[in-house]
Structure 1
Amino acid sequence: MNALDKAIAAAGSATKLAELLSTSAMNVSHWRNRNGGQVPQARVLPIFHATGVTPHELRPDLYPNPTDGLPK
């Protein structure tokens, strides 16, 4: 299970995650299927706040340390 799938599971469904992020379920589907689970940079922190999936899990290329992007 990749990090986006983990976030979807935490939200309850892809549709619920989309609602939490004020975006469409189609966008979430594109991130999952066309982008190989990679979410856009601007969505990393909102997904973290909505689901608890860490920025490092979602985008280790942007948040290389496990605590990057977490509140201090």
Structure 2
Amino acid sequence: MTTQLALQKAIATLGGQVKLADAIQTSQQNVSNWLRTGKVAPDKVILIEKVTGVSRHELRPDIYPPEESKHAA
């Protein structure tokens, strides 16, 4: 799953960009920017995971690699 797809899933879970932004105390413009760039702000990844259940591994695999990858290294 790409970061954009993971973020779209999180947005859909809460019912829109504004609702996700409100839930994690950021602006809708930030959420829109993350969708465009494919990079969620590192300080918001855990919050998004907590409020939507979308995994940090899906949202920022560059920072939070899947468990299998960590053990393979």
TM-score, normalised on structure 1?
0.81
Q: Could you tell me which of 33, 47, 57 is aligned with 1:30?
A: 33
> What are the superposed Cα offsets for residues 8-67 of structure 1, whole Å, 9 maximum, x if unpaired?
01111001000101111111111111x12x201111100000100010010111111248
Bigger fraction of residues in helix: 2
Task: Could you tell me which runs of 5 or more consecutive residues in structure 1 were left unpaired when the two chains were aligned.
Answer: 68-72
* Alignment size in residue pairs: 65
Ranges in structure 2 where 5+ consecutive residues have no aligned partner: 69-73
Deviation beyond 6 Å, 4+ runs, structure 1: none
Which AA in structure 1 matches 2:43? A
Amino-acid identity (%)? 48
Structure number with greater Rg is 2
Q: Which residue of 2 aligns with 1:63?
A: 64
Q: Are 1:44 and 2:45 an aligned pair? A: yes
Which residue type is aligned with residue 60 of structure 1?
A: P
TM-score, scaled relative to structure 2: 0.80
Pick the aligned partner of 1:12 from 15, 23, 39: 15
Tell me the residue number matched to 2:71. none
